[in-house]
Amino acid sequence: MRRLRTLPLLVPLLAMAQASMAEWFTITGDPEIATSNVVQVDPVPVSVEGAQRTMKLRVNRSAQRHSWDGVHYRSYDATVVIDCDMKTARYQSIDFYRHPLWAGEVLRANQYPRTAEPRWMEFRQMNPNPTQRIIRAACSAAES
């Protein structure tokens, strides 16, 4: 129930951010604390094609994780394609960092073309999980 009350607050913030210079909008966590699970979104889409929004996001994990490609990381920058009709989001590209809060050199950069098996935007073992909240906000902001 709490998530539903915060969603109406998120949509106007996304719209205001679109009107001004883009900055990271924190969905969850504290971006000043390296041991925090953090998800941030650039509220200004990279592109809009019909029902699809391509957006930038970045994630910091509270502890080392490994990706489905076997990369051990603490944080990453990504480009995601959100399909508002299907209510899904998949990664288009990810730059993994060994260190928290996007510090240091990119450990590995992966590209996921549309023809490849989708890498779905999921935040496993993150509570609350912001996946659907991000999709709803991106699609609601586009309808405004």
pTM of structure: 0.81
- Check whether the bond before 8 is cis (ω within 30° of 0): no
Structure tokens at 97: 């960092």
61 DSSP assignment: E
Residue-level pLDDT at 3: 47
Instruction: Categorize the per-residue pLDDT at 115 as very low, low, confident or very high, splitting at 50, 70 and 90.
Output: confident
What's the number of domains the chain is made of? Answer: 1
Beta bridge partners, 11, equal none
Residue-level pLDDT at 65: 97
* Average model confidence (pLDDT) across the chain: 87
pLDDT at 20 over 90: no
Cα separation values, 67 from 24, 39, 48, 107, 139, Å: 23, 16, 27, 12, 27
Give me the domain span that covers residue 115: 2-143
pLDDT at 134 over 90: yes
Region for residue 14 given its phi and psi (left: phi exceeds 0; alpha: psi -120 to 50; beta: otherwise):
alpha
